[in-house]
Amino acid sequence: MKLLRCAMLALAGLLMAPAGGFAQESERPQGSDPRLEEWEVPWEESRPRDPYVAPDGRVWFVGQRSHYAAVLDPDTGEFERYDLPDGAGPHTVVVGSDGMVWYTGNRVGNIGRIDPATGDIEIFPMPDERARDPHTFAFDAAGDLWFTVQGGNFVGKFWRETGDVRLVEMPDNPEGRGGSTRPYGLKMDSRDRPWATLFGTNQLVMVDPQTFEPTYYELPEGARPRRLVIDSRDIVWYVDYARGYLGRVDPESGEVTEWANPSGEGARPYGVAIDEHDRVWFVETGVRPNRFVGFDARTEQYISEVDVASGGGTIRHMYFDPKTSVVWFGTDVNTVGRAVLPPLRRVSE
């Protein structure tokens, strides 16, 4: 299926977020707070989310409620919109090295490809009707896509050249409720292995890219891992949405270590990213305004806490751009934002 684009340009106001901080500011490095900036999206209440930086430096995102993909030029503040097929409910968007744009049709059980030059859209349906809601995906080293299917209970792989899909079914929820374990956030490690959170239970899963066999990693009882990142040593970090923790899993030993969030049990950590210095940045969405929190994975210390100027509503997914040292995010209050990260500063011994 193909659809011509609907283009729309708008110059949006830039919102500057004030910096916050811990009460014990002397215990963290000076100048460790990022600078937060936000652009108001010109399409009201569209839930802009899951931004991704394209090779040309422009920032793509999707409007989950209004069924569009769009691109922001951060240099000019201009937005351009591409309307998607009715009811698509796009969830995540990524951009290949060739400039092609891929999104998950979360409400219609498919993956879509947009050619930005023409606006043409090609649709790739899931091969199993149970895989009704493709959720989050990421490129592997070959440029193919691994993805989660939250309600349908799968982790899958999509081959771009052929459109083939292979689905790995996750076990039913083990806690007596039946149904999906809710595969949710997904990232690739340096060995080209996909890792995903199982948000419906207290587990992470890694799928072997050769055999497609899953390996499960158990977290503390009551944990609900929502998103994850992987550091330079292939250590996996997750945010526990239910209990208000940042956690670490060593894939070799399975050992789990946790740190309580600054806002405590009600923090509701959600969007998370990691930078080139192994600093983990996540957003506490259970507080108003949302708070953008930094944690140094090497020193194992919280280093920053900044309020989101727009309030954030809920920040669901984030993307780190290594070229600019910027974390991009979308908010439920209809903004797209960035956190310009500070240079690395270590606390002196």
DSSP string, 134-189: EEEEEE-TTS-EEEEETTTTEEEEE-TTT--EEEEEPPPPTTTT-S---EEEEEE-
pLDDT at 248: 98
190 vs 184: CA distance, rounded Å: 20
193/307 Cα distance (integer angstroms) = 34
Please tell me the number of Cα atoms within 13 Å of 285 on its side-chain side.
Answer: 22
Tell me: pLDDT of 7 over 60: no
> For residue 264, what are its two tokens?
């405590």
- The whole-angstrom separation of Cα 129 and Cα 190 is 32
Q: How high is the pLDDT of residue 175?
A: 66
Mean pLDDT of 70-98: 97
Residues near 120 by beta carbon (within 8 Å), at least 6 away in sequence: 2, 3, 4, 114
pLDDT tens, residue by residue, 13-48:
444 433 222 223 334 555 689 999 999 999 999 999
Alpha-carbon dihedral of residues 104, 180, 268, 271, nearest 10 degrees? -20
d(CA 111, CA 116): 16
At 18 the pLDDT is 30
Q: How far apart are CA 294 and CA 194, in angstroms?
A: 24
CA angle 6/107/151 to nearest 5° reads 155
On the question of pLDDT at 174 being above 60, the answer is: yes
Q: Does the model's pTM come out above 0.85?
A: yes
Residues 305-321, mean pLDDT to the nearest whole number: 98
Angstrom distance (rounded) from CA 114 to CA 321 = 21
Q: How far is CA 335 from CA 67, 187, 286, 332, in A?
A: 16, 24, 18, 7
Q: How far apart are the first and last CA of the chain?
A: 60
Confidence band of 349 (pLDDT split at 50, 70, 90): very low
Grade residue 6 by pLDDT with cuts at 50, 70 and 90. Answer: very low
Do 102 and 91 form a contact (C-beta atoms < 8 A)? no
- Predicted confidence at residue 32, as pLDDT, reads 82
Neighbours of 166 (CB within 10 A): 13
pLDDT tens digits along 87-106: 999 999 999 999 999 999 99
